[in-house]
A and B are shown apart, each in its own frame.
Chain A
Amino acid sequence: MDLSYSPEELAFRDEVRGWLAAQLPADIRDKVTGYRGLSKDDYMRWHKILAAKGWSVPHWPQEWGGTGWNITQRYIYDEEFGLAGAPMLPPFGPAMVASVLLRFGTETQKQRFLPRIREGEDFWVQGYSEPGAGSDLAALKTRAERRGDHYLVNGQKIWTTLGHYGDWIFCLVRTDPSAEKRQEGISFLLMDMKSPGITVRPLILMDGGHEVNEVFFDDVKVPVENLVHEENKGWTVAKYLLGHERMGSGAVGSSKRELAALKALAARELKNGKPLLDDPRFRDRLSRTEIELDALELTSMRFLDRMRRTGQPPGADVSMLKIRGTEIQQSITELMMQAVGPLAQPFVAVDDGRVDALASRLAPRYFNYRKASIYAGSNEIQRNIIAKMTLGL
């Protein structure tokens, strides 16, 4: 039993930490730690800095530009990003569509897309959910009809994160509406978002931010060579991708940074003339969250250790990291908002008013993080997965 990192792992951690300290642009870091959204340019600029270092796609095979790091190094890399306030690259390109292409893509598709993903030339987004297909994804209706050398796509996607930045979108579409099992009529299609007939409409969330979108497809022509894997085998691709989620879903690193920020904030805010941090009622809630995070870090490391020893991907029980990780994020954002008390109320200045920039971001951030237990497989779906796969229910 040894809970600490090896000297080699510590050296690797220090290398990542040192590089981030030197290379992460201050304006991007300040946006992350100040709870402001990143522009497409911010993401692309950061992606190119990572690509120049050879760190934009660590988990890829080395022949395509991966780093050859082991699972522990990849975990450390993710955690150091969180601690440093470095944005993780949106997963849709490097983590998601790339994993699919590496597994199911033709050589031509790999050559065409992978280098551009690695170098940050294209911004990819994900077209899975539809108004009538959320947790029940197989209910999707967006139709792709084969017309000779292309598909004609009609329908709608929703919750398209950063869809307004998208150059390309990968979609699950229905190619065979008559299939006996509805999972059998689905295909995985890549679309250039500049194609005529694609419309992106913002969905403004309750924090006032533009993060997700609806995407409409109206007689969009998609070349047949953009089909990945076989026609009507898209569900196999979707399932593969679900099982391919990274080990960073507990967001331990960024929650540790946020918890430190919360403590600093609560040490400055006064209650009856004394730091709020020393108020037993507030402190108990903070400490319980901190202990849950201590436990989650150890639980994450136990998963890593098991993967390292068995050489097997994580089991379904890894879903608990998503459940607890998001609960911790939500708890911290709520405590942050409560820490500033009445100062959480001002949102935006009007008529030449002034608002404290950080305090005014705390309530919206709390609002925004309600999404965490809903997205990427709601926490209820995660519980279903553990119930079925781990507990045998």
Chain B
Amino acid sequence: MNFETSSEQQQLADALRKVLANDYSFEKRKAIVQSASGFSETIWSTLAEMGLTAVAVPEADGGFGGGAVDLMAAMEACGEALLVEPLLDQIGLAGRLLTRAASAAQRDALLPGLIDGTVRYAVAYLEPGRRYELAPQTTVARPAGDGWVLDGSKSVVIGAPSAHRLIVSARTGEQGSSLFIVDAKAAGVSPSPCRTVDGQRAADLRFAGVRLGADALLGPNGGALALLDEAVDFATALLCADAIGAMQSANDATLEYTKTRKQFGVPIASFQVLQHRMVEMFIQLEQARSMAILAASTVDTATSADARRRAVSGAKVRIADAARHISQEAVQLHGGMGMTEELKISHTFRRLTMIAQRFGDADHHLERYAALG
């Protein structure tokens, strides 16, 4: 039993915190969010140079051979800073799918760009009106000559506007579905970009007669569901760590605010009714942190899919509940100021609200957890 962050993990997180403190202040982040691309190439290159995009890639492929546990402390730092660049999508979803499923030729061709950050990926797997369903319904890939023709549409693909390549799930038969690597600029791909409520960039994507080569298929024909199930769990574990950082930041800000804000001649933190609520926020965070640790550790070491699902879904329920509780209480305790764009807490609120829903909300994961007995 050992819960200590290793020195490598801590060094990476400390270095990242230092960079974010300098280059990703609240004001600088705001400028990035409001820029045309909503994305900072500078920050992205820095994240890649620091090795964040390499940590979870196997050593044989040029990475560091780490896992979710090795990324946990760094993801917390990203959560504190409310990072809007789609690092989670690159390393959690796309990176996981590629390292798990890519053929030898694909690894040689694709992983170097993923590792050095010069090639960005977004994973398009959600469809309109189908909520968190992993199985594609309306997106279909039909065999054509050596390759495939892709038609259909995907919803809120986080990171799509800045992505060079997409990983798209599509039906490839009566029952089965498969994953395809698609050039984001390929003929027939029409993005409809948007800004998300928490400042990220995403796009709805339409595919109309997109021609794909045989080498576009990622993993076995018919293998999309198992791959997505595992990769989304891995990404969820990273998202949980991100959430811990955001919640820690909300709790710190609330403590600081209530200790300085005076009403009736005293700091409002002197009121017991507020103290007990902040204690509850603290306990919620620590319980959530325990489950985030469990999720990260389990996706790295689980020997069965059910053990992995149980830990990740349990964690996501706890994190979603805590994110909702903490974000709502933080705004309430900040009073009117908590409602404004001017304070970071309202941005943290929006981020935590979306984290609670991403990859399945509490109800979704409660059902999945309960189904495991």
Chain A contacts to B: CB under 8 angstroms:
1-6, 9, 72, 280, 283-284, 286-288, 290-292, 294-296, 298-299, 301-302, 304-306, 309, 317, 320, 323-324, 380, 383-384, 386-387, 390-393
Contact = CB atoms under 8 A, between A and B. Distances in A.
B292 to A, nearest CB: 10
B287 interface: yes
Would you list the 10 A-B pairs with minimal beta carbon distance, nearest first?
A298-B290, A387-B275, A295-B287, A305-B3, A383-B279, A299-B290, A291-B314, A383-B276, A2-B2, A1-B69
Contacts of B318: 291-292, 295
B275 A295 contact: no
Given A1-B4, A291-B318, 14 more contacts: A1-B2, A1-B296, A3-B297, A287-B369, A294-B291, A294-B314, A296-B287, A302-B293, A309-B4, A320-B282, A320-B283, A380-B276, A387-B278, A391-B278
B3 A302 contact: yes
B370 A298 contact: no
B310 to A, nearest CB: 9
Nearest to B251: A391
Nearest to B67: A1
B269 interface: yes
Given A284-B370, A291-B318, A393-B269, A301 B1 contact: yes
Nearest to B274: A393
B22 interface: no
Contacts of A391: 255, 275, 278-279, 282
Contact of B1 (A294, A304, A323): A304
A80 B5 CA distance: 28
A280 B287 CA distance: 24
Contacts of B1: 2-6, 9, 72, 301, 304-305
5 contacts: A3-B297, A291-B291, A296-B290, A387-B276, A393-B270
Nearest to B290: A298
Contacts of A3: 1, 3, 293-294, 297
Interface string B207-236: 000000000000000000000000000000
B317 A386 contact: no
Contacts of A2: 1-2, 297
Interface string B1-41: 11111100000000000000000000000000000000000
Nearest to B254: A391
Contacts of A323: 283
Interface in B68-97: 69
B366 A284 contact: yes
A287 B373 CA distance: 10
Contacts of B283: 320, 323-324, 386
Contacts of A292: 287, 318
B366 A305 contact: no
Contacts of B270: 393
Contacts of B291: 291, 294-295, 298
